[in-house]
Structure 1
Amino acid sequence: MKPLYLFLFLLFLSPLMVCGQSGSIRGVVKTSDGNPAEFVNIAIEGTSKGDIADKNGKFEIRNVAPGNYILVASFIGLENTQQPVEVKPGETVTVDFILKENTKQLEEVIISGRATLNKEDNYVAKMPLRKMENPQVYNSVSSEILKQQAITSYDDAFRNIPGVFRTWESTGRDGDGASYFALRGLEGQPALVNGLPGITNGNLDPANVEEIQVMKGPSATLFGANATAYTSYGGVINTITKKPYFTSGGEIGYNIGSFGLNRITADINAPLSQQNKVAIRINTAYHTEGSFQDAGFKKSFFLAPTLAYEVNDRLKILIVTEILEEERAVAPVFFHSNRAEPLTFKTIGELNLDTKLSFTSNDLTIKNPRANLQAQMVYKLSDQWSSQTVISRGSANSNGYYSYIWADAEGDNDFGQYFTYVKESRTTTDIQQNFNGDFKLGSVRNRLLIGLDYFTQEAVNNGLGYVFIRNVTPQGGENFISPDTGEELAPVYLSRASIDNLLAATPVNNSKLTNNTYGAYISNVMTITPAITILAGVRADYFDSDADDFDQFALSPKFGIVYQPVLEKVSVFANYQNAFNNVAPMQVADEDGNNQRLKTFDPEQANQWEVGVKTNVLKDRLFAMVSYYDIQIKNKVIGDVNNFYNYIQSGKVESKGYELEVTANLFSGFSLIAGYSHNETKNKEGFANDFYSEAGRAPGGQGPQDQVNVWATYKFSSGNLQDIGFGLGGNYASKYRVIDNSITGVFDLPSYTVLNASVFYNPERFRFAVNVNNALDEEYYIGYWSVNPQKPRNIVISMAYTF
């Protein structure tokens, strides 16, 4: 046995002996105009050793055996640069690279999606972390993908992200008028812009989007609860805006398409000072569009000026402004159940909904103007510490008509249509102070975040009540029989004058509500060894509302671990994440309605554990990730089936599933994004027969259990077809149970497959493309306890000139 012990000892000792004799290579990569070049791969030719330049262009390759090597700087889409280097025992040699490209040219390549798939991100962890070392799962859609797919609607971008499904289109109504999405089976809405609150009651415009991120799982530790009031325990949607650069450039674009689509965009960047680094970038869009149904339209104007000022090497200032004016005629949500009686129609075929009917008119519109302002100051305190001070101010408004269709009584073909006039303004202010440190304690690298967060929101509601207008049938019939009295009422026309006449008798809301949240958080990423990284963080959150003098306190922890058996190539990770929601007090009473009182509740909680593997292989040309998650939600407030006037905090919901993502740039001109997700969401504890919380049943809004997304493009780089390319992809969704209850029965939206295709011509400065969406003209639906038909086949022709 002694020889075996000796062998094991030498086997263990040999790497230490090699490391003790090895050297290192470090340096900086810059563009031709002298700016740091991020994401550039630095590799030792003929070996697996290498590094990726950080945001300052710096790289370092450690534990290199003595000898002569060729050092290669590579960037997908650019020509490789080589330099010879000699490494001596115990010494560090410096090798710098200067690329042929300037900052603007490099940025264009980065935006095109050909940059490293393991790029560093500053938003998900609120500190610079590469994908391979971050234990949290996140997916993103770049501005280049938006161009490839000729996406003119922000919502359509999410067809490229696994495990995300739109369940409800934007209604524009007050409070939660943005589109709803199912993220890992749990409801959510877009809520963050550059990691800060960015509320909206209507649509978002993609003109200023650099990237859309979906940070999977509960994420309150860093982002809180109220700043993400309508986000999901299954994920947080963060929109990253375009930033200025310090050379002149821009793009003018025009889209024309089916259903009256006309869209003009401009992206103009200009340096404002020859001596100082000051630049402005303006993105703007004018959009008009009709509908595939018999009524409905959208008209909007968007303007987003952004100013960047690099005062010196230590201080940087960024000011982001977004202004949107929007008016729409919105098709009502079609609720085909009253949620209390057995369903009359149990399938799409039985319901027989005419998909071309809008059940509205273009005279009944809603306006959703919004404005967001963000100011950020980053100051480098030292080589190890930096300070970030940010302030965000947002406003979102709803002003116009909102309508829904409801099955008042089951057993017939009549569905009641109700209208209200919403008039609400919502303003938010968020102030954050973050300190980021990057230092070593002994041999352990620490990347420490310490942050303070103050968030306040004011909502003023002066809208009207709801009024019954008419009964409609799914086939377009109508009558005016009151669901309450059974008498026939006078006909009502879908005009402003007619609807206003009925709404005049409804009460006017006159409410003003202010909420304040005070948060403090700390998070640390510890690199124990080059292969092992541990993340730990916690948030303390105090919520104070002037409604009924209500306040709550919550803690939100987060943990994660990453093990890289092959550095920068294979990453095994696990995480625990938490989120919470402040639950407002509710008026309750005894069973007879007497003894009215205010009842308070604890914060609702969601806890997730997740495990998975990330791979980044083939010289940074293929990234793949697979993960399994389990989310448990507790403290949900549900109605008391034994007392109509009471609420009980005993509901529990479970969401489990797995996701797969693949991103590839396998060879020149080719790119691929693909994903698959499976989710099972159900109530774990609730009341028997209760529509919302019956145990073992789907709660609603969870989306299809299985989804697939694929998009591939190829562009010819030589020959007679040079600069011509094509794209092909689509989405599959399994059947989706929008109603699941033992009394009402179940209702499934059918599965569907939608195929999209594109042909384009894209030389250096010009792009012309024809995109066909839903090429096979599939009839399909989305819903949230509802049935909402989607667009048939449509064509978008896009043109753009870059300068």
Structure 2
Amino acid sequence: MLSLFSFAQSGSIKGKINNSSNTALFGVNTIIKKTTKGAQTNDNGQFEISNVTNGNYVLSISYLGYKTKEITFEINNNTVNLGEIILYEGNELLQEVVLDSKRKNKFSRKKSAYVSKMPLKNIENSQVYSTVTNQLLVSQSVNSFEDALKNAVGVNKLWSSTGRSGDGAGYYSIRGFSVQPQLVNGVAGITNGFINPSNVERVEVIKGPSATLFGSSITSYGGLINIVTKKPYSSTGGSISVAGGSYDFAKLNADVNVSASDKVSLRFNAGYQKDNSFQDYGFKKSVFVAPSLSYKVNNKLTLNFAYEASDNEQTNQTFLFFNRSAPLVFNTVKELNYDQDKSLTNDDVVIKNITQNYRAEAAYKISDNWSSQSIIAGGVAKSNGFYTYLWNFADWTDVSNPQGTPNFALYAQNTNAKTKTLNLQQNFTGDFKLGNLKNKLLIGFDYLESTITDQSSGWGYMHSVNAQGDLIFGEQDVNAENLNAITSKLDNSNIKTKQNVFGAYISNVLNILPNLSAMASVRYDRFEYKGDINDPSDDHQAYNESTFSPKFGIVFQPILNELSIFANYQNSFSYVNPELVPININDPSAGTILQSYDLEQANQIEFGVKTNLFNNKLEATINYYNITVDDKVMGFGTGKTQDGTVKSKGVELEINASPITGLNLRGGFSYNDSETTKSDTLKNLIGLRPAEAGSDILYNFWGDYQFTEGFAKNFGFGAGFNGASDYNTMSDYTNSGGFTLPAYTVYNASIYYENDTFRVSVKGNNITDEVYYSGWSTLTPQQNRTFLASFDYKF
């Protein structure tokens, strides 16, 4: 009751600020004198300051190049609307600029320009997305991209990054469907191998089928992962970071930004990171450089350039591949009896990845209502070295044990491959009124070209071992010399495949009422795939397809900018490349036949609620979704068939809160129910959860508190956990009998001291030393308990 009474003794003030030409001014500072309350105008020139205690005040309005204006007003349990306010140009400069660098809710971000390819606040966007902010990455001392994604609601890790050609980035499951991180700053970007989070400003996980704006090549039916890199800013400063920890972990990073004038800003970010595996063998090393430049040519045109190059080297992380066509003699980790301390590899069996990504952008303000964005982006990723995998081949080969034992055959390839992409994109955005209806309109075109060149060796058999690493048959030692001897006898491939996609899209957000908006979008996509263009006789593999993809959404805000109810319909599709398959699997001399596929189609219905309450102290999203995928390609190898229907539905909850000064909380929960509902040829899959869906229950939490006064000022601590339910990683392969990965909960904690000059912290990951695994028809042991100390100097 006291709280309600206190709330009743306050009001708010709002208005709209224009110049003498009646053009709305964006970014105008409005401050209530002798208080800490203030706001900036939005792109419509509007501002609002809430929770102002009853009394008489003076509002100071200031903007660079304009004369400062002061207006007196009184609050008496009401909202004061000042209407339109005119600022006149003058020679005054701002005498004082107040920047609030300490955000109240550090783990939330209210707006994104990438999710809808136009600036929309989260609360007015009918699509659900989860943002992992830089402040959250710093709070958790995150040093791997995998750890960053543990903070995104409903994201389940399936595979670690392998570095192999074509699909070397990690695999994750979102809303029941697998996806790789293939989007950088809103356009296609190659992320093969290890992604260094030192150049990541934030990560956006955009939920649901998103092909309407992004196409099918870089998305999945469950969503997509967009990596936003660090960019130049109009100031001079930076940081130097060093860290060290368990298993010889070491890190050095330098991030420097220089702004010689208001027109030019240059940022240079570079780092080195390495660590060893907790197993008997294994390591990762990474070096990256990332320069970026922003040049404001004039008030209408700004040019932005960004480049990132990395050189990564790693041993093959342990992947135990399970037999998909024969019954397994083990169905649980306990029955497998795998010695997780054994990597079953060697430190000179490594794969190297050199990756480069570039992006050039021209942002041009055509008029007060229209703007243009032109982007040229691309990248190159190389995979060189040994890629090995362990396959559970035939359990009955150990004749000393009639019941069978888990034996694994090691196969190796000397990889020499390159993936190259080129992305051209043009967007026009408009913000205008038709009559009394406000419109935000996007018109865009993009072209994506991808070329894969593969000159790798064939696959060679090395030896067979059991789950404890004991040699069963073949070569004794796994090393580069023995692998070279085996793979050098094999023929090398000389394959070059190419695909390109042209897309055109249009999207409009119509404000029917100030608190009611509707979105309508559609995309046209033209896909072309070529087979081996090095082989003239392979032209029969050329494949072309076109399609349309719609998207609709509606948002109603019962409390403007604080509470919204939303619903959406989203569509996506997938071009499944044709492939050559044997006419008769038991008779290789019978030759092959081209197997082609129709488009897969996904449709989603979703609704939910978003909040931004108590002056951004509580941001939450709760939603329900239902996805249906038709014409799904089912099975594997020569047993593929396109007659499947998969349904995936679930609920998600994400909360970002800052209830008191210094305390920031983030938590999430998701439940996904995914199953195959139709398959005429593979009826045994009906009713089963697809293996790519991962765990059905996922949850995460992190809390951070920093003392702001008293003897402990600037000290802070953080604690949290993340976990998943158990799941059958072999559910798609019913002949195997299935294999269940156990449920887990991993706890982490940190303590730190931070001021404006430096930050020193100590972090413990998996502090209870939980034994847990990831996999997708595979088994990979995850990191055990580690400790990390870091020091950041800021200038």
Shorter chain as denominator, the TM-score bin is 0.7 to 0.9
Asked if residue 395 in structure 1 is aligned to residue 380 in structure 2, the reply is yes
Q: Report the CA distance between 1:148 and its aligned residue.
A: 1.1
Deviations 1:551-577 (A, max 9, x none): 111211111111111111111111111
Q: 1:264 to 1:91 in 2, by over 3 A?
A: closer
Q: Is the Cα contact below 8 Å between 2:105 and 2:616 reproduced in 1?
A: no
Asked if residue 613 in structure 1 is aligned to residue 598 in structure 2, the reply is no
Structure 1 residues 87-126: aligned runs within 5 Å: 92-94=84-86, 106=100, 108-109=101-102, 114=106, 117=108, 119-126=110-117
Matched positions, count:
740
SS of match in other structure, 1:147: helix
Deviations 1:114-168 (A, max 9, x none): 49x5622100000010011000000011111111111111111011111001111
Q: Report the CA distance between 1:95 and its aligned residue.
A: 8.0
SS of match in other structure, 2:278: coil
Q: 1:43 to 1:533 in 2, by over 3 A?
A: farther
- Tell me the distance in 2 between the aligned counterparts of 1:710 and 1:767: 23
Asked if residue 238 in structure 1 is aligned to residue 256 in structure 2, the reply is no
Q: Is the Cα contact below 8 Å between 2:641 and 2:681 reproduced in 1?
A: no
Percent identity for Structure 1 against Structure 2: 39
1:608 maps to amino acid: Q
1:409 maps to amino acid: A
Asked if residue 214 in structure 1 is aligned to residue 214 in structure 2, the reply is no
Structure 1 residues 270-419: aligned runs within 5 Å: 270-272=258-260, 274=261, 276-335=262-321, 337-410=322-395, 411-419=404-412
Q: Is the Cα contact below 8 Å between 2:240 and 2:255 reproduced in 1?
A: yes
Q: 1:399 to 1:101 in 2, by over 3 A?
A: farther
- Tell me the distance in 1 between the aligned counterparts of 2:696 and 2:301: 48
- Tell me the distance in 2 between the aligned counterparts of 1:357 and 1:26: 66
Q: 1:345 to 1:595 in 2, by over 3 A?
A: closer
Structure 1 residues 576-725: aligned runs within 5 Å: 576-587=569-580, 596-639=592-635, 647-686=640-679, 694-725=685-716
Deviations 1:449-485 (A, max 9, x none): 00011111111000111112111111121121xxxxx
Q: Report the CA distance between 1:589 and its aligned residue.
A: 6.6
Q: Report the CA distance between 1:500 and its aligned residue.
A: 0.9
Q: 1:344 to 1:707 in 2, by over 3 A?
A: same
- Tell me the distance in 2 between the aligned counterparts of 1:756 and 1:71: 48
Structure 1 residues 194-213: aligned runs within 5 Å: 194-213=185-204
Q: 1:687 to 1:135 in 2, by over 3 A?
A: same
Deviations 1:41-67 (A, max 9, x none): 989999xx998643x5942469xxxx9
Structure-1 residue corresponding to 2:757: 765
Q: Is the Cα contact below 8 Å between 1:24 and 1:93 reproduced in 2?
A: no
Structure-2 residue corresponding to 1:166: 157
Structure-1 residue corresponding to 2:450: 457
TM-score (normalised: structure 1): 0.87
Structure-1 residue corresponding to 2:786: 794
- Tell me the distance in 2 between the aligned counterparts of 1:438 and 1:704: 42
Q: Report the CA distance between 1:653 and its aligned residue.
A: 1.5
- Tell me the distance in 2 between the aligned counterparts of 1:515 and 1:646: 25
Q: Is the Cα contact below 8 Å between 1:113 and 1:142 reproduced in 2?
A: no
- Tell me the distance in 2 between the aligned counterparts of 1:397 and 1:578: 33
Deviations 1:571-603 (A, max 9, x none): 111111111111222335766875854343222
- Tell me the distance in 2 between the aligned counterparts of 1:665 and 1:597: 61
1:379 maps to amino acid: Y
Deviations 1:746-767 (A, max 9, x none): 3211111111000000122110
- Tell me the distance in 1 between the aligned counterparts of 2:60 and 2:166: 50
- Tell me the distance in 2 between the aligned counterparts of 1:99 and 1:617: 32
- Tell me the distance in 1 between the aligned counterparts of 2:144 and 2:769: 19
Aligned with 1:540 (options 512, 515, 524): 524
Structure-1 residue corresponding to 2:745: 753
2:504 maps to amino acid: A
Aligned with 1:267 (options 217, 239, 255): 255
Deviations 1:508-558 (A, max 9, x none): 110111212111000001111011110110110101122222111121111
Q: Report the CA distance between 1:743 and its aligned residue.
A: 3.2
Aligned with 2:423 (options 426, 430, 433): 430
Aligned with 1:475 (options 468, 473, 482): 468
2:677 maps to amino acid: K
SS of match in other structure, 2:149: helix
- Tell me the distance in 2 between the aligned counterparts of 1:43 and 1:560: 38
Q: 1:177 to 1:776 in 2, by over 3 A?
A: same
Q: Is the Cα contact below 8 Å between 1:24 and 1:92 reproduced in 2?
A: no
Q: Report the CA distance between 1:645 and its aligned residue.
A: 5.5
Root mean square deviation, CA, Å = 3.1
Q: Which runs of 5+ in 2 are unaligned?
A: 1-12, 20-24, 62-68, 396-403, 532-540
Could you list the structure 1 runs, at least 4 aligned residues long, displaced by more than 4 angstroms after superposition.
Answer: 35-38, 40-46, 49-52, 67-74, 86-91, 94-103, 588-596, 644-647, 687-690
Q: 1:385 to 1:749 in 2, by over 3 A?
A: same
Aligned with 1:191 (options 172, 182, 206): 182
Deviations 1:725-762 (A, max 9, x none): 00010112111221225432232111111110000001
SS of match in other structure, 1:609: strand
Q: Report the CA distance between 1:363 and its aligned residue.
A: 0.5
- Tell me the distance in 2 between the aligned counterparts of 1:734 and 1:45: 53
Q: 1:346 to 1:100 in 2, by over 3 A?
A: farther
Deviations 1:293-325 (A, max 9, x none): 100111111110010011121111110110101
Q: Report the CA distance between 1:102 and its aligned residue.
A: 5.2
Deviations 1:583-639 (A, max 9, x none): 222335766875854343222111111110011111211011100111111222235
Q: Report the CA distance between 1:683 and its aligned residue.
A: 1.4
Q: Is the Cα contact below 8 Å between 1:687 and 1:695 reproduced in 2?
A: no
- Tell me the distance in 2 between the aligned counterparts of 1:167 and 1:41: 49
- Tell me the distance in 1 between the aligned counterparts of 2:94 and 2:552: 39
1:762 maps to amino acid: E
TM-score (normalised: structure 2): 0.88
1:438 maps to amino acid: D
Q: 1:313 to 1:69 in 2, by over 3 A?
A: farther
Structure-1 residue corresponding to 2:514: 530
1:418 maps to amino acid: Y
SS of match in other structure, 1:753: strand
- Tell me the distance in 2 between the aligned counterparts of 1:647 and 1:514: 23
- Tell me the distance in 1 between the aligned counterparts of 2:515 and 2:554: 11
- Tell me the distance in 1 between the aligned counterparts of 2:428 and 2:271: 36
- Tell me the distance in 1 between the aligned counterparts of 2:405 and 2:351: 31
- Tell me the distance in 2 between the aligned counterparts of 1:645 and 1:423: 26
Structure-1 residue corresponding to 2:146: 155
Q: Report the CA distance between 1:648 and its aligned residue.
A: 3.2
- Tell me the distance in 1 between the aligned counterparts of 2:696 and 2:33: 45
SS of match in other structure, 2:213: helix
Q: Is the Cα contact below 8 Å between 1:439 and 1:447 reproduced in 2?
A: yes
Q: Is the Cα contact below 8 Å between 2:27 and 2:40 reproduced in 1?
A: no
